[in-house]
Structure 1
């Protein structure tokens, strides 16, 4: 056999609300019906998402999840982020729906996540990346703690445990290299935003900005610093 296709169907509470969200991302609605069962299909090039409406469904209880592999997750993220900012006035990083920026998470491939209005997790990763590739990147000390925290916060959605893990790491490794401390504080600021803790978010960002970096290190964290600064300023 060849050219087979599999299309899992994801649940949502309000079909049209969910369609509108995907249209914001740039998808096109290719099918919609209300009877006998509400369902729809949205597509973005070769990405096809099938949806069905469920009365009384609570998105916070959803276990829906789909893996999407694309050639360039960073470019797709920036497209999605731009469109979401235009619709919501800021990047939605808390609640449902939301988007989590690209990063290499400890033990996982590089990618980003979108949680749609149905509470379904779209786990978007780079085509060709494997768990084995990720495992080749060794990290120690605070850098490893930050990667573990990122997996907890971004892959599992447990921001509280991620923050606790990161706090423990910052306490254990106060003399970690400057760039590792900056990255840890920046992620702590991001977690604080997602946990609606403005005081911690501002304090973490200030701590990160108060650490001296080399020109090369500044270039490494430039995008992350810009992203987190924008999040904190929108609080």
Structure 2
């Protein structure tokens, strides 16, 4: 048979809160009811998410989650980020709600996914519809290889503390030995993790280190992604 499909059904503290949050991200509300139970449908393009109200829901402990496969995670993230900047003046990177950045992960076929945590603690995980067949250059340094592991810990496993510990250890021991683009990639991700932990002082110091790192034209081009990430993170402080 063909034509079957599934629809995520997630809990929320308030259907109005959920509608406002997802509306900021470009969703539209296509169904709303309060009786016999609170229930809404939020749609975007060709997909939708359903929400049901749970009065005693704790966003810190909920297990609500789903996977969404989209043509271009980078383009979708840009649209979500634009909505957050429009409403909040910044991208929400810490606390609840929050969003991570698209990063390729060694444990997901090199696919660049990101996660969105909504006000009720539901985690929506976005991945591209197709595996990235373009092979990324292998890291040249120990720091570059450590960053690959840290991204898996911080993004796929949600273990921010362990990702921080791993990066800090390698940055201290061999950070200066890494090519500058790999160093800046690691510093930018470490700054993002610091903001995720609410550690603005560490994030600021890391971003200052990025800004103070001298780069030639080739290094600047290779580090363009890290520099753009750092510039955006600086707006969070």
TM-score normalised per structure 1: 0.91
For 2:154 and 2:71, the matched residues in 1 are separated by 24
- The alignment yields a C-alpha RMSD, in angstroms, of 2.0
How far off its partner does 1:103 sit? 1.2
Structure 2 residue 99 is the aligned partner of structure 1 residue 103: no
> Separation in 2 of the partners of 1:142 and 1:217?
16
**Residue 118 (1) aligns with residue 115 (2):** no
The ranges of structure 1 where at least 4 consecutive aligned residues each deviate by more than 3 angstroms after the TM superposition are 133-140
| Alignment deviations for residues 121-167 of structure 1 (CA, whole Å, 9 cap, x no partner) | 1111111117xx59986446211211221222222332222111110
In the aligned structure 1, how far is the partner of 2:204 from the partner of 2:106? 26
Q: What SS is found at the alignment partner of 2:223? A: helix
CA-to-aligned-CA distance 1:59-96 (integer Å, 9 cap, x gap): 11121221111111111111110011111121111111
Figure out how many residues of one structure are paired with residues of the other and give that number: 233
Q: Which residue does the alignment assign to 1:5?
A: 5
| Corresponding residue SS for 2:100 | strand
Q: Distance in 1 between matches of 2:18 and 2:221?
A: 38
For 1:204 and 1:172, the matched residues in 2 are separated by 16
Q: Classify the secondary structure of the residue corresponding to 1:101.
A: coil
**Contact between 2:117 and 2:123, CA under 8 Å: does it hold in 1?**
yes
Q: How does 1:1-235 map to 2 (within 5 A)?
A: 1-108=1-108, 109-129=111-131, 138-139=138-139, 141-174=142-175, 175-235=177-237
Distance 1:61 1:70 in 2: 27
| Structure 1 runs not aligned, ≥5 long | none
TM-score normalised by the chain length of structure 2: 0.90
Q: CA deviation at 1:217?
A: 2.8
Structure 1 counterpart SS, 2:147: helix
Unaligned runs of 5+ residues in structure 2 are none
